[in-house]
């Protein structure tokens, strides 16, 4: 086609027109296309190929591609075209719909820049570092090229501003999971969880997307000084659900309730006639309570403390003292152990072998125990 005929054809177009063109040549800084239904050529400068920075035109298009383009400028024998403007116009329409609906969509991270990530959605989308994840990320390098889910959190077409968030997607999903779990949790359930963090008053345990609190008193049957003595962050634990407050999203859990009680198998651990070592925990008017296993205390009746008569246990014992005791009786149902120290008392004259223990020393009465507690309360 002659130059005159080209000029005639060029005259049929003006800036803003939409045309289709097939790529005939990809150069380093521009792309040559043939305008559909004509012999006319068009030129797409590399800056008009994409909303993102492009190093080489071949990274965006290939020979044979048919592109929808907008005329930027009409020159004597060719059209200067833009792929970017057409892509952007289409993109804004879709993006506005996605923004209004709160749609979650997937897109490839095109680049990692200072302060966040860049995504090509027909227009340049930016993900600030604080909106990438719900947790802190030090290095975003490996995000480049990854498919990630996003929501649009800010859109301003006039300012060409598009802000995306992956964090919002994560938090939305976590919130949904949390609600699902809260709806299905019931007191009494036993679940596996992971210790998330420790505080002075207990441990927060993740039970599948929602955290529950194990109060320090529910960590063990034994007395716990600080949670880190019993559990560590990241540790898997069995927990029992004590209560669920759905309105305030609070869950109370117990590790202690999943563990064998201190009195479990006590008949095997402390059979009648066996000798144990223990610690004097409390002194009362009628005897001494000695802890022989964590959480297991037995009573040494005052008559079983010494062969000689004593007025009060304080005469020969003190709290915290380590002592040796003999098991006289085991009552599993009432969780009671009757103990004796007399056999281990150092003395020259021993009772004869056929000496029979006084009847009152074979145990202790519930009334005595309650009476002592009532005295303490009155004080």
One digit per residue, pLDDT tens: the chain, 379 residues?
A: 444 445 556 778 888 899 999 999 999 899 999 998 888 889 999 999 987 788 888 888 999 999 999 999 988 778 999 999 998 888 899 999 999 999 999 999 999 999 999 998 988 999 999 999 998 988 999 999 999 999 999 999 999 899 999 999 999 988 888 888 888 899 999 999 999 999 999 999 999 888 999 999 999 887 889 999 999 999 999 999 999 998 888 999 999 988 877 787 888 888 999 999 999 999 999 999 999 988 889 999 999 999 888 999 999 999 999 999 999 999 888 889 999 998 887 643 444 444 454 544 444 454 454 445 444 444 4
Helix (H, G, I), strand (E, B) or coil at 236: strand
Those residues whose C-beta lies under 8 Å from the C-beta of residue 316, and which sit 6 or more positions away, are: 305, 306, 310
Alpha-carbon span 177 to 185, nearest angstrom: 12
Fold identical between 92-170 and 186-258? yes
Classify 186-258 by CATH class: mainly beta
Alpha-carbon span 340 to 300, nearest angstrom: 5
Chain centre distance of CA 178: 11
Phi, psi of 181 (to 5 degrees): -65, -45
Which pLDDT score, from 0 to 100, does residue 354 have?
46
- For domain 92-170, give the fold: OB fold (Dihydrolipoamide Acetyltransferase, E2P) (2.40.50)
Which pLDDT score, from 0 to 100, does residue 176 have?
86
CB 325 within 8 A of CB 278: yes
Structure tokens at 358: 């006084």
In the block, tokens 């907008």 appear at: 70
CATH number of 3-82: 2.40.50.140
Query: How many C-beta atoms lie closer than 10 Å to residue 233's C-beta?
Result: 13
Which pLDDT score, from 0 to 100, does residue 280 have?
95
Is pTM beyond 0.85 here? Answer: no
Cα-based torsion angle of the residue sequence 121, 123, 129, 134 in order, rounded to the nearest 10 degrees:
-40
371-375 long-range contacts (CB < 8 A, ≥24 apart) are: 372/284, 372/285, 372/286, 375/285
Closest by Cα among 170, 178, 104 to 133: 170
Phi, psi of 71 (to 5 degrees): -75, 125
Decide the pairing of beta strands 336-340 and 296-301. parallel
CATH number of 266-378: 2.40.50.140
Decide the pairing of beta strands 236-245 and 202-206. unpaired
**DSSP codes joined into one string, 266-279:** HHHHS-TT-EEEEE
Which residues of 95-171 form beta strands (DSSP E)?
105-113, 116-120, 124-128, 147-156, 161-165
Chain centre distance of CA 166: 17
Alpha-carbon span 240 to 236, nearest angstrom: 13
The DSSP 8-state label assigned to residue 175 in this structure reads H
Domain ranges of the chain: 3-82, 92-170, 186-258, 266-378
Alpha-carbon span 338 to 342, nearest angstrom: 13
Those residues whose C-beta lies under 8 Å from the C-beta of residue 241, and which sit 6 or more positions away, are: 185, 186, 187, 188, 189, 190, 191, 212, 251, 252, 253
Alpha-carbon span 15 to 71, nearest angstrom: 5
b/e 165-203 (16+ beta carbons within 10 angstroms → b): bbbbbeeeeeeeeeeebbeebeeeeebebebeebeeebb
């Amino acid at each position: 086609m002659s130059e005159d005929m080209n000029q005639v054809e060029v005259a049929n177009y003006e800036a803003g027109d939409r045309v289709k063109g097939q790529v005939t040549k990809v150069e380093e800084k521009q792309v040559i296309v043939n305008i559909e239904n004509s012999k006319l050529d068009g030129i797409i400068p590399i800056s008009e190929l994409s909303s993102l920075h492009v190093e080489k035109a071949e990274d965006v298009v290939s020979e044979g591609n048919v592109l929808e383009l907008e005329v930027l400028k009409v020159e004597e024998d060719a059209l200067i075209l833009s792929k970017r403007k057409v892509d952007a116009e289409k993109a804004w329409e879709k993006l506005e719909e996605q923004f209004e609906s709160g749609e979650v969509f997937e897109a490839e991270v095109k680049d990692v820049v200072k302060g966040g990530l860049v995504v090509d959605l027909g227009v340049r989308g930016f993900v600030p570092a604080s909106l990438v994840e719900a947790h802190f990320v030090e290095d975003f390098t490996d995000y480049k090229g990854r498919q990630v889910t996003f929501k649009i959190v800010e859109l301003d077409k006039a300012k060409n501003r598009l802000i995306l968030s992956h964090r919002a997607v994560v938090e939305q999903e976590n919130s949904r999971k949390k609600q699902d779990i809260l709806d299905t949790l019931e007191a009494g359930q036993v679940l596996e969880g992971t210790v998330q963090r420790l505080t002075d008053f207990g441990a927060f345990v993740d039970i599948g997307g929602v955290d529950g609190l194990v109060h320090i008193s529910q960590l063990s049957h034994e007395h716990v000084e600080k949670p880190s003595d019993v559990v560590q962050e990241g540790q898997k634990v069995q927990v029992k659900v004590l209560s669920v407050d759905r309105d305030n999203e609070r869950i109370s859990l117990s590790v202690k309730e999943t563990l064998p009680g201190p009195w479990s198998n006590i008949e095997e651990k402390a059979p009648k006639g066996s000798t144990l070592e223990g610690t004097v925990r409390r002194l009362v008017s009628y005897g001494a309570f000695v802890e022989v296993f964590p959480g297991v205390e037995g009573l040494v009746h005052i008559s079983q403390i010494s062969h000689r008569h004593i007025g009060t246990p304080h005469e020969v014992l003190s709290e915290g003292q380590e002592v040796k005791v003999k098991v006289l009786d085991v009552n599993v149902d009432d969780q009671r152990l009757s103990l004796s120290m007399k056999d281990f008392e150092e003395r020259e004259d021993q009772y004869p072998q056929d000496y029979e223990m006084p009847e009152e020393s074979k145990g202790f009465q519930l009334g005595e125990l309650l009476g002592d507690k009532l005295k303490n309360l009155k004080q």
